[in-house]
C-alpha cells in the first residue's frame, strides 16, 4: 500500500461484515405498490408540493421543491396517482415525521422525456451546476447535501478533488458493488468534475480490503484516458471514510474547526454521487434511485439493491427473502453511524445507503448506561480530537453554549466514543440531540433577526413617507409665496359662512322645539 501523506487521530479497527451482501451483483428491487416522498429537506424546511390528490404523474415528474439551492426538486420515481399528502414517518436520526406525497404506482413505470444531454467535454461549470440542481443530485454518502450548492467554490480556488470510495462502515457494501460494476461512470464523472472545478489533482480513495473494486477501477483507468486520476488505497481503519479524516490521510492537510474543506482548496464527493453526476450530465437522468445495502443477521438474503426513491423499507426486506427468526431491530445506515427506526414502513430517501436488520446480541442490544468514570477512552478513540466526556457533561446539562465552546459541531457522529465507552453511555445520541437543539436555536435567532429587520424597514419606510409628505406640503406653500391665493381664500370664506349658517339654523330649531 502506498505511503500516505498524513494520518488521522483515534479511530478503531472493526471486524468486517461486507461479505454478507457484496457477493452478488446489484439487483433492481422492483416497484412497490406505493411510493412515499417526504417533503422535509435537509435544511429543516418543507418543500412546496406541486401536485394535488388525484393527480396522475409519470416517472421524472417534479412533484415538489426546486425553488432554491438548498431545496432541490423532488421527482416521482415511477408513474401512478397521488392518493394522499399527509404526515408519515421518515428516515431521520430524531425519529421525526414529515409531510409526505404518497403515490400509488400503476405498474406501467411510464417516464417523461429525459433532460437534454450535455457535452461533458465542453459544458460550462454554470450549465453543469444548473443540471445538477435540475436533476435533484445530492450527496449519496449519507449527508444528503445538495451537490450544486456544495460545488459552488466562492472565492476559494479548488486544487484537489477527492472521490470517497472508502466505505469504512463494517456492513455497508453499496459503494463497493458500484465500483466493481460501474467504475467507468465514476471515472467519467471524475473527469467532468475536475475540468469544471479547474483543479489540478483528482484522487479516488478505496479501502485496502476492497480488492475487487480497486481492480475494477484500475481496469477502467487503463481502458480509458484517465491517467491523470490517482487511485489510492487507504487503511481499513474506521472512520477512514469520514470526509475530514480522508482529506487528512490523502493530503496531509487538516480542515480548520468550523470550516469546510473548500477553505483549504479541497472538494470531496462520494463515488455514487459522482456516478449520478455523470449520468445526469451525459444522459439527462434525474436522481430517482440509488443502491442500498440490505444486510444483517435478521434478513434472509443480504444483498445490494437498486431502489427507487420512496420505496418502503419493508418492501426491500421482502425482496431479500423476508426477516429471519433472529430479527431484532432496524438500523438505517451502519452500526456505527446509523440510527434505529421503529417501523419498516419508512421510505428510502436519497441519503439512505443501507438497511441493517440486526439480530439478538447485535450492536443494537446494548446494556443500560452507567455513570461516566472519566477513563478517557472516548477521547483516545475520537478521530476529530474532541473531548467527548466533557461534551457529554455540557450537553447532558443542556449547557449548549459550553458544548459549542468545546467544538460540538466538529463531531462527525462516527460512534467511536460509543464503541469504547465502558459505561455504555449513548454519547453520539447526546451530541446529535444537542446539535439539533443548537441548530433549532440558531434558526429561531435568524427568524427573529429577519422579523426585526422587516419591522425596522417598515418603520423607516413610514417615517420616510411622513417626511416626504411634509416636504411636499412645504413646497406647495412656498410655491404660493407663503400665502393662499385669492381664489383659495374666497373658497375658505364661503365654507366658513356655510358652516356658520348651518350652526345658526341648528340653534334656531333647538330653541323652537324646547317646551
Q: What DSSP string runs through 320-374?
A: TT-B-TTEEEEEES-TTT-EEES-TTPBP-TT--EEEEEETTSTT--PPP-----
Question: How many whole angstroms separate alpha carbon 234 and alpha carbon 162?
Answer: 13
Q: Give the mean model confidence (pLDDT) for residues 20-32.
A: 95
Residue position matching grid coordinates 348651518: 502
pLDDT, residue 370, reads: 92
User: Which residues, 6+ apart, have CB-to-CB distance to 502 below 8 Å?
Assistant: none
Are the beta carbons of 9 and 68 closer than 8 angstroms? no
CATH of domain 367-503: 1.10.1060
Whether the predicted pLDDT of 415 surpasses 70: yes
C-alpha distance across the termini of the chain, in Å = 120
Q: Name the packing angle between helices 183-197 and 211-223 (round to 10°).
A: 60
Average pLDDT over residues 6-25: 90
Note the pLDDT of residue 364: 46
Q: What is the mean pLDDT of residues 118-133?
A: 94
Dist. CA 399–CA 39, nearest whole Å: 32
Q: What is the mean pLDDT of the chain?
A: 90
Rounded average pLDDT over 407-412? 92
User: What is the pLDDT confidence band of residue 515, given thresholds at 50, 70 and 90?
Assistant: very low
- 507 band by pLDDT with thresholds 50, 70 and 90: low
The enclosing H or E element of 417 equals helix 416-420
pLDDT band at 1 (very low <50, low <70, confident <90, very high): low
Write down the architecture of domain 18-327 according to CATH. Answer: 3-Layer(aba) Sandwich (3.40)
Least confident of 291-295, 326-330, 435-439, 470-474: 470-474
Fold: same for 18-327 and 367-503: no
Closest listed residue to residue 144, CA positions, set 91, 203, 202, 67: 91
Cis peptide before 239 (omega within 30 of 0): yes
Q: How many residues does this entry show for the chain?
A: 515
CA–CA dist 145, 397 (Å, integer): 31
User: What's the whole-number mean pLDDT along residues 436-449?
Assistant: 84
C-alpha–C-alpha distance, residues 376 and 206, integer Å: 31
User: What is residue 512's predicted lDDT score, i.e. its pLDDT?
Assistant: 52
- Residue 357: band (very low, low, confident or very high) from pLDDT cuts 50, 70, 90: very high
According to the model, what pLDDT value does residue 156 have? 75
What pLDDT, on a 0 to 100 scale, did the predictor assign at position 7?
A: 86
Exposed/middle/buried for residue 112 (C-beta within 10 Å: 0-12, 13-18, 19+): middle
Q: What is the mean pLDDT of residues 391-405?
A: 92
β-pairing verdict for 289-295 and 354-359: parallel
pLDDT of residue 2: 64
pLDDT value of residue 25: 96
Mean pLDDT score, 332-341? 92
Over residues 76-101, the pLDDT tens digits come to: 999 999 999 999 999 988 888 999 99
What pLDDT is attached to residue 473?
79
Flag the least confident range among 10-19, 190-199, 266-275, 486-495: 486-495
The pLDDT score that the predictor gives to residue 6 is 77
For the cut 80, the answer to whether the pLDDT of residue 381 exceeds it is yes
Return the pLDDT at 16: 86
What's the pLDDT at 387? 94
pLDDT value at position 240?
92
Rounded CA gap, 338 and 296, in Å?
13
Cβ within 8 Å of residue 471, ≥6 positions away: none
The pLDDT score that the predictor gives to residue 506 is 62
pLDDT in tens, 249-302: 999 999 998 888 999 999 999 999 999 999 999 999 999 999 999 999 999 999
State pLDDT tens for residues 178-230: 999 999 999 999 999 999 999 999 999 999 889 999 999 999 999 988 999 99
Cα–Cα dist 412/434, whole Å: 13
Q: Are 298 and 323 in contact (CB under 8 A)?
A: yes
Interval 302-315 mean pLDDT: 98
Which has the minimum average pLDDT: 310-319, 446-455, 487-496? 487-496
Domain boundaries, the chain: 18-327, 367-503
Which range, of 10-14, 47-51, 467-471, 499-503, averages the lowest pLDDT?
499-503
> Given pLDDT bands bounded at 50, 70 and 90, which one contains residue 483?
low
- Predicted local distance difference test score (pLDDT) of residue 474: 78
pLDDT for position 480: 61
**Secondary structure, 3-state, 104-133:** EECCCCCECCCCCCCCCCCCCHHHHHHHHH
Percent residues over pLDDT 90 in the chain: 68
Task: State mean pLDDT over 128-152.
Answer: 91
Rounded Cα distance, 99 and 347, in Å: 12
Residues 264 and 199: beta-carbon distance below 8 Å: no
Amino acid at each position: 500500500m502506498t505511503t500516505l501523506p498524513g494520518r488521522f487521530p483515534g479511530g478503531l479497527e472493526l471486524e468486517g461484515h461486507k461479505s454478507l451482501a457484496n457477493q452478488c451483483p446489484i439487483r433492481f428491487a422492483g416497484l412497490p405498490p406505493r411510493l412515499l416522498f417526504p417533503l422535509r429537506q435537509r435544511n429543516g424546511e418543507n418543500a412546496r408540493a406541486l401536485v394535488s390528490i388525484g393527480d396522475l404523474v409519470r416517472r421524472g415528474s417534479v412533484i415538489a421543491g426546486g425553488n432554491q439551492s438548498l431545496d432541490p426538486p423532488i421527482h416521482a420515481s415511477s408513474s401512478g396517482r397521488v392518493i394522499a399528502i399527509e404526515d408519515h414517518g421518515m428516515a431521520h436520526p430524531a425519529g421525526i415525521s414529515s409531510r409526505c406525497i404518497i403515490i400509488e404506482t400503476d405498474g406501467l413505470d411510464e417516464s417523461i422525456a429525459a433532460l437534454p444531454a450535455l457535452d461533458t467535454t465542453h459544458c460550462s461549470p454554470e450549465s453543469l451546476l444548473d443540471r445538477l440542481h435540475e436533476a435533484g443530485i445530492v450527496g449519496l454518502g449519507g449527508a444528503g447535501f445538495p451537490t450544486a450548492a456544495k460545488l459552488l467554490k466562492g472565492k476559494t480556488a479548488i486544487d484537489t478533488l477527492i472521490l470517497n470510495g472508502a466505505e469504512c462502515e463494517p456492513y455497508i457494501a453499496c459503494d463497493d458493488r458500484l465500483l466493481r460494476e460501474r467504475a467507468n461512470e465514476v471515472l467519467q464523472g471524475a473527469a467532468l468534475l475536475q475540468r469544471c472545478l479547474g483543479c489540478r489533482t483528482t484522487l479516488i480513495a478505496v479501502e485496502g480490503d476492497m480488492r475487487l473494486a480497486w481492480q475494477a477501477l484500475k481496469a477502467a483507468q487503463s481502458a480509458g484516458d484517465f491517467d491523470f486520476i490517482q487511485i489510492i488505497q487507504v487503511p481499513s481503519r474506521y472512520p477512514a471514510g469520514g470526509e475530514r479524516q480522508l482529506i487528512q490521510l490523502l493530503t496531509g492537510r487538516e480542515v480548520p474547526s468550523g470550516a469546510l474543506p473548500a477553505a483549504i482548496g479541497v472538494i470531496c464527493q462520494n463515488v455514487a454521487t459522482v456516478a449520478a453526476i455523470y449520468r445526469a450530465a451525459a444522459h439527462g437522468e434525474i436522481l430517482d434511485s440509488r443502491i442500498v445495502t440490505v444486510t444483517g443477521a435478521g434478513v434472509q438474503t443480504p444483498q445490494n439493491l437498486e431502489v427507487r426513491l420512496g420505496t418502503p423499507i419493508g418492501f426491500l426486506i421482502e425482496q431479500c427473502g423476508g426477516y429471519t427468526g433472529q430479527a431484532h431491530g432496524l438500523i438505517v445506515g451502519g452500526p456505527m453511524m446509523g440510527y434505529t427506526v421503529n417501523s419498516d414502513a419508512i421510505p428510502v430517501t436519497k441519503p439512505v445507503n443501507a438497511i441493517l436488520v440486526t439480530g439478538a446480541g447485535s450492536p443494537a442490544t446494548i446494556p443500560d448506561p452507567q455513570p461516566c468514570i472519566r477513563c478517557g477512552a472516548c477521547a483516545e478513540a475520537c478521530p476529530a480530537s474532541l473531548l467527548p466526556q466533557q461534551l457529554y457533561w455540557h450537553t447532558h446539562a443542556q449547557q449548549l453554549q459550553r458544548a459549542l465552546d468545546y467544538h460540538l459541531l466538529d463531531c462527525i457522529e462516527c460512534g467511536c466514543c460509543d464503541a469504547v465507552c465502558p459505561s455504555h453511555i449513548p454519547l453520539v445520541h447526546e451530541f446529535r440531540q444537542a446539535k439539533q437543539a443548537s441548530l433549532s436555536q440558531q434558526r429561531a435567532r435568524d427568524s427573529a433577526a429577519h422579523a426585526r429587520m422587516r419591522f425596522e424597514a417598515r418603520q423607516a419606510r413610514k417615517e420616510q413617507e411622513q417626511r416626504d409628505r411634509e416636504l411636499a406640503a412645504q413646497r406647495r406653500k412656498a410655491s404660493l409665496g407663503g400665502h393662499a391665493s385669492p381664489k383659495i381664500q374666497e373658497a375658505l370664506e364661503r365654507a366658513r359662512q356655510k358652516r356658520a349658517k348651518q350652526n345658526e339654523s341648528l340653534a334656531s330649531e333647538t330653541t323652537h322645539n324646547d317646551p
